[in-house]
Chains A and B, each alone.
Chain A
Amino acid sequence: MTDHEHFEELISLRLDGALDEEGEAELRAHLETCRECRELLALLTGVHDALSIEKDPPEALLRGVMEGVERAEKTSKTVKMRWTGIAAGALAAAAALAVAFLPHNAKTPDSDSGIAAYSSDTGTPVSLFPDTKIGLPGEPAVCGSVDDLTGIRAAAYFRELPADIAQTGPDYIFANGDVGYDVPEELLEAHRNEAVRIDTPDPAGAVCLAVLLSDQ
């Protein structure tokens, strides 16, 4: 260890209140003569002080989190109903349906993921729900969550819809990645700026595909 490193260590220990008396005396004597170490101590003390804050979190934190949890619960219940219904519907019929009727200008989503999005930065497809195959026949009704919607402007969402199940209303995709249908009005209101409506171009058909343009 060089001399310099030795005093750097004494300075560091002092900041943490871990310097013993002997070290303190040694450091103090050195500081009398060494301008460089005086400056280092001053600078690091400033950093240490700036980071020695301890604030009480505002009440809005817990309140906001619990409200968000409540919303998430409502949304995920909606989603579960939806996909359960479909899965229990006509599995055999759905399985036979091919991916077809895609609008000409839409990119075909990764057929395994069920839901895909295109990064607006790179144009490369990313799966929104990497671990789930939502909407594919026979898959149960668990909705995954999107890790990060940052930078995603357009998302394609498709599923095979059994012929005997009619689409009753639009689906919504939420910023947290949940997808829902028959979404209660108040829930939509609460997510006014982040819920994106999915319009299905072929509501009665075998394949529904929608390209979402979020306002992000």
Chain B
Amino acid sequence: MTVEEELRDVRAAASGDSAAFERIVREHQKNVYNLAFKLTGSEQDALDASQDTFLKAYQNLRAFRGESRLSVWLYRLTYNASMDIIKKSRRGKLISLSSDEEGAVPEMPDDGPTPDEQVERRERLEAVREAVLALDEDKRRILLMREYRQMSYADIAAALDLEEGTVKSRLARARAALAEILKKRGTISFDTQSKRQIDDKEARRHD
């Protein structure tokens, strides 16, 4: 979708053309959903956050003036919607009666991750998220751009008005700081799997 097409759809959707809004959702839902999943660590939360994002976007379309790309605007909404859900679930954890959830067997496609794997993945994503949130603003922003939104060096450089070389070194600093936090907290170990992979690579190299 070009910028012009996008803006035309935004205008149409703002005046009640739901087909135009559906095109917008189809275009952006993958990015929105994946970002929400990486932040929340759960498919259900990611779905809720994505729906909140698009409904809020719909309610506020008239306020979108096209100064930034729609994707950037949606990114902010997704981030906020995900954080809202995270906050709520933190609160929920304190008061929820665990018996509610016991005995509930989640539906799972046969080839999907097992509940154990899901829990492990969620815990990892939560640990990484909390460490990212503990970073200072500059480091957090650049890590979100690269690791959560998969932006290229060039796009990050443009967004932050930096040279690409500066992006590379700042990203390296941010990653090192993140590793430091994760190591200190030691809540989740990433070592086993990654070491295995590296060892595998080494082994292959020696073949």
Contact = CB atoms under 8 A, between A and B. Distances in A.
Contact of B172 (A12, A50, A61): A12
Contacts of B59: 72, 145, 176
A12 B128 contact: no
B176 A40 contact: yes
Given A43-B179, A46-B191, A12 B168 contact: yes
B34 A65 contact: no
Contacts of B124: 46, 50
Interface in A175-193: 176
Given A51-B38, A51-B128, A73-B16, A41 B43 contact: no
Given A8-B176, A43-B183, A47-B190, A58 B171 contact: no
Interface of A: 1, 5, 8-9, 11-13, 15-16, 18, 38-51, 53-58, 60-62, 64-66, 68-70, 72-73, 145, 148, 150, 176
Q: How large is the interface on B (under 10, 10 to 19, 20 to 34, 35 or more residues)?
A: 35 or more
Interface in B163-180: 168-169, 171-173, 175-176, 178-179
A49 B193 contact: yes
Contact of A50 (B54, B88, B121): B121
A60 B30 CA distance: 13
Contacts, number: 140
B55 A12 contact: no
* Majority secondary structure, B binding face: helix
B86 interface: no
Centre residue among B148, B176, B183 by max chain A CB count within 10 A: B176
Contact of A61 (B33, B148, B168, B193): B33
7 contacts: A1-B169, A9-B168, A13-B168, A43-B179, A51-B125, A65-B55, A68-B51
Contact of B21 (A9, A60, A69): A69
B90 interface: no
Contacts of B47: 57-58, 60-61, 64
B22 A43 contact: no
A66 B30 contact: no
Contacts of A54: 30, 34
Contacts of B43: 55, 58
A50 B38 CA distance: 8
A45 B190 CA distance: 8
B131 to A, nearest CB: 9
Interface stretch (B3-11, B64-72, B95-103, B194-202): B194-202
Contacts of A176: 55, 59
Given A49-B194, A68-B55, A62 B153 contact: no
A50 B190 contact: yes
A53 B191 contact: no
B52 to A, nearest CB: 9
Given A41-B198, A66-B18, A150-B88, A51 B148 contact: yes
B194 A57 contact: no
A42 B194 contact: yes
A183 B51 CA distance: 24
A60 B48 CA distance: 10
